[in-house]
Copies of this chain bind each other. A is one copy, B any other.
């Protein structure tokens, strides 16, 4: 905005900007908030986004707006975060909203859905395609206001004890996979499993489950799952570009001084772009380590992808027929996605295509 426009927006004449110290004190009270993350601290990139946010807010407000970050379980469990924020137990949180589809499947669009948009497209929809407004309309029903706060990029499909070549191989597969993705693959015979992160390794080792999905190479490598389930599948078609959200208790957000809101908006954008950049910077080395220690890369077959796409669309139609919020957001989301990929196939995709093939040839 041009300076003159600022001044107009602030209701001031361009002739003078008399900035007085008393006004400053009024608008900059010391505030302390608590943020509950949905993640454990050892997921340093995804948990770390909460610290990136809190630090940026602290710095821009000269230490007057302090946000303490807490890992899942330190105040409430990850799946209780939405309730705790809505009822004011904590002022805010940092979550993957797809975890709350049991509450309402519409939450998923604040993260992603199977065969959704990639990370940049998700930013485009949320920031400039009306997505964030739609989501905030929905979140308001839960007494929440949200800012976009991260994206992991396309995830991997997880670790499998045996190869999955056809749709038939999915039948009876005990797969640790949650949310809408679990509902989708269940239609193909998968038996979705809910297992605490700490128990995944032993469950795979014992054969209690057949497969487990997590994030991408950087986070996946730390779990060591490839040692007990060596087939490492891609792409994670249920998380092509999952977003994370900073959720605020709506009344608490609205009470914030204007400058603190401004600091939070910028800090959330920083946390968003920073998280994707960190994953993008760290995933190549994670992938090399995994492959060097025995992970065997496998692409999901076209058969599996196409069957999954078909049942995903069925799930969306079924939910839309029963849930007006979901229907409304899904329509916006789907239309935007289809236009994005119309453009994506032109410059972005052909550019990456050439670079990948050229690299492969040395």
Interface residues in chain A, defined as those with a beta carbon under 8 Å from any beta carbon in chain B: 1-3, 6-7, 9-13, 15-28, 30, 32, 51, 54-56, 58-64, 66-69, 115, 118-121, 123-129, 153-156, 216-217, 234-237, 240, 257-259, 261-263, 265-267, 269-270, 272-274, 276-278, 280-285, 287-288, 297, 299, 302, 305-306, 309, 337-356, 358-360
Contact = CB atoms under 8 A, between A and B. Distances in A.
Contacts of A59: 258-259, 261-263, 265-266
Contact of A266 (B126, B154, B217, B267): B267
A128 B278 contact: yes
A118 to B, nearest CB: 6
A99 to B, nearest CB: 21
A132 B311 CA distance: 45
Q: Copy number of this protein in the oligomer?
A: 2
A360 B345 contact: yes
Contacts of A126: 277
Given A17-B30, A22-B20, A66-B17, A281 B352 contact: no
B347 A356 contact: no
A355 to B, nearest CB: 5
Contacts of A267: 266
Nearest to A353: B349
Interface centre among A2, A17, A125, A356, by most B CB within 10 Å? A17
A62 B124 contact: no
Nearest to A264: B60
Contacts of A51: 1-2
Contact of A347 (B68, B153, B355): B153
A10 B259 CA distance: 14
A4 to B, nearest CB: 8
Interface centre among A20, A66, A155, A262, by most B CB within 10 Å? A20
Nearest to A115: B355
B123 A280 contact: yes
